[in-house]
Amino acid sequence: MIAFLIPMLLASAQSQITDILTAELARNVTGSLDKDGVCHCTVILPDSTFPADRLEYLEIYNYNLSISVEQQITTIHSYELLVTVYLGKLKNLTARVETLETGGLTYTELDFQLLKLEITEIEALIVQLRASLNGTNVIVEALYVEIRNISILVHQMESYDKNNVLVIRREIVALQKRLEECQNHVNSSRPPPPLVYGTCEHGGLVNISKPFVVHLNYDGAGYTKGAWGKDSAVGGGKGYYFVAPLYTDLVSMRAFRIYSSYNNLVLYKQHAHRSISSNSDYGQGTGVILYDNFLYYNCFNSRNLCKLNLDTYALTRMTLTDAVYNNRFSYAHSTYQDIDLAADEDGLWVIYSTEQKYGNIVISKLNETSFTVTQTWTTSLYKPAASNAFMVCGVLYATRALNTQTEEVFYMYDTKTGKEGYLNIPYPKMKEVVQSLSYNPNDHKLYMYNDGFLVSYDLIFQPVGIEKSSLE
């Protein structure tokens, strides 16, 4: 249209100039002839007669107009090309949306995402085109309206997803992302530094593993009360294991077995069976431990401690002053365990109670060589309120039954500081009653005699320099 207009304007301007010149040249003027025979004359044209300045202006205007028109033509040609390209794309989009509308294909999240992306792209370009043309182009306006309609249609179709396929797919993607994050977190989490057995380079007990059932005691299921464990002197003595079920009276220990290895214990073979013949040498209750190849226990019907050499079977005794016995202040659910031997990284201990302390737990440190008490601490925990107790790095930990399937470490007393506190470390048990419970510093395990079954647990300590919360 504009291209057609330009030649018309140019032709009109030239016609006007020709008419003016023709009218002025019709006048007669006086001239002269030079020596070469060339004629000269002077014509004075008044400005009012011939508008030379207008001619000049017209020429400049004509020139500028030509440039402007050429630029517009170039611009329009480029827009025509763009419109042609996007018209093709729009037709393609229209066809795809129609296919989706008629349900000819299974639409997916990807279909919609691609459609929306392309529509957004075209919409942006059309908006740009529309602005360039000042909103005067009918075709562009129509394109704009059409692309807006398609955009709305795609959004509506997405919302018509009755089967929530897209929602589920998005949730799956979100779950996969969380899974990857979790996996990355696990991979990036550095394992805590290994704890050295027999040392106290940790921040205390923070958790207890699930139980590991070794097997039933050698006397059978009827022998529900007893004790078992591994040599708990730091270094492990000879590494022997002992199993000591109480006699059928459920009070006295009259026999026990020693196994030279864990495999022998599990396979019931190559054991040393020891029967105690003298009543005074019997054990009483289940607070028995094996420490540096000596068996320590409460001597029968007394407040004495017995120390039995497993090589020579020589027996040594000591009196635990003021200690009550004969089931005066035993543990809850487990009778005749007034005196409970224990061992940890710091050595040999005995846990008991006295009338003077009203049945509260008293802890005494023993010198195993001289077999004497070196120091004593009194706690505020009533001994029958606990189901059992053990020592770790000079700290007494007491347990109680939460129910028939769960025990809990609920109390601690630190002999180094004299401070006590309450804990909440539950752990499962296989049978209802904990008949004995001892810690071994050589493997960080708890050894439990659980209604006739030999059970062990791994203790989990807080590594030094790592926050407690990260371990729970």
Residues 96-155 that bind Ca ion (CB under 5 A): none
Closer of 340 and 451 to Ca ion (Cβ): 340
Say how far apart CA 193 and CA 65 lie, in whole Å: 84
Return the range that interacts with Ca ion (CB under 5 A); candidates 51-59, 253-261, 300-308, 430-438: 430-438
Nearest approach in angstroms of CB 228 to Ca ion is 12
d(CA 287, CA 329): 13
Residue 24 near residue 45, CB atoms below 8 Å: yes
Cβ distance to Ca ion smaller for residue 129 or 389: 389
For residue 316, what are the β-bridge partners? 307
Task: Report, in Å, the least distance between residue 391 CB and Ca ion.
Answer: 8
**Residue 334 beta carbon to Ca ion: minimum distance, rounded to whole angstroms:** 10
Q: How far is the CB of 412 from Ca ion (least distance, A)?
A: 14
CB of 369 to Ca ion, least distance (A): 22
Q: In this structure, are residues 324 and 378 in contact, taking their beta carbons and an 8 Å threshold?
A: no
First to last CA, the chain: 81
CB nearer to Ca ion: pick between 161 and 443: 443
Q: Are 168 and 417 in contact (CB under 8 A)?
A: no
Helices (H), 309-379: none
Name every residue whose Cβ is closer than 8 Å to that of residue 18 and which is 6 or more positions away in sequence. Answer: none
Enumerate residues 6+ apart whose C-beta is below 8 A from 419.
413
Rounded CA gap, 223 and 216, in Å? 9
Kindly identify the residues of this chain, within the stretch 380-419, that bind Ca ion according to CB under 5 A: 388, 390
CB-wise, 271 or 383, nearer to Ca ion? 383
Q: Can residue 340 be called a binding residue for Ca ion (CB under 5 A)? A: yes
Which of these, 25, 33, 70, lies nearest to 50 by C-alpha position? 25
Residue 244 binds to Ca ion (criterion: CB under 5 A):
no
- For residues 354-383, which are near Ca ion according to CB under 5 A? none
Kindly tell me which of 146 and 346 has the beta carbon lying closer to Ca ion. Answer: 346
Q: Which stretch binds Ca ion (CB under 5 A): 45-53, 323-331, 338-346, 365-373?
A: 338-346
* Nearer of residues 334 and 462 to Ca ion, judged by Cβ: 334
- Give the residue with the Cβ less far from Ca ion, 86 or 336: 336
| Backbone angles phi and psi of 338, in degrees to 5 | -65, -35
The rounded Cα 87 to chain-centroid distance in angstroms is 51
Q: How far is the CB of 169 from Ca ion (least distance, A)?
A: 57
Among 394, 390, 393, which residue's Cα sits nearest to residue 409? 390
Distance between CA atoms of 292 and 377, rounded to whole angstroms?
24
Among 243, 306, 437, 460, binds Ca ion (CB under 5 A): 437
Binding-site residue total for Ca ion (CB under 5 A)? Answer: 4
Q: Does 234 bind Ca ion (CB under 5 A)?
A: no
x/- site string to Ca ion, residues 296 to 335, per CB under 5 A? Answer: ----------------------------------------
Q: Write the burial class of residue 286 (CB in 10 Å: 0-12 exposed, 13-18 middle, 19+ buried).
A: buried
24: its two tokens = 């002025």
Region for 377 from its dihedrals, namely left if φ exceeds 0, alpha if ψ lies in -120 to 50, beta otherwise: beta
CB of 111 or CB of 408, closer to Ca ion: 408
Spatial separation of the C-alpha atoms in residues 99 and 120, rounded to whole Å: 20
At its nearest, how many Å lie between Ca ion and the CB of residue 290? 13
Shortest Å distance, C-beta 399 to Ca ion: 9
Q: How far apart are CA 436 and CA 228, in angstroms?
A: 8
Strands 255-259 and 271-275: antiparallel
State which residue has the least CB distance to Ca ion. 340
* The one-letter amino acid at 39: C
* Residues 460 and 443: beta-carbon distance below 8 Å: no
Q: Between 340 and 407, name the residue whose CB sits nearer to Ca ion.
A: 340
Cβ-based nearer residue to Ca ion, 154 or 437: 437
Give whichever of 144 and 256 is closer to Ca ion, judged by the CB atom: 256
- Closest contact distance (angstroms) between CB of 291 and Ca ion is 13
Nearest distance from C-beta of residue 186 to Ca ion, angstroms: 36
Min separation Cβ 331 and Ca ion, Å = 8
Question: Binding residues for Ca ion, per CB under 5 A?
Answer: 340, 388, 390, 437
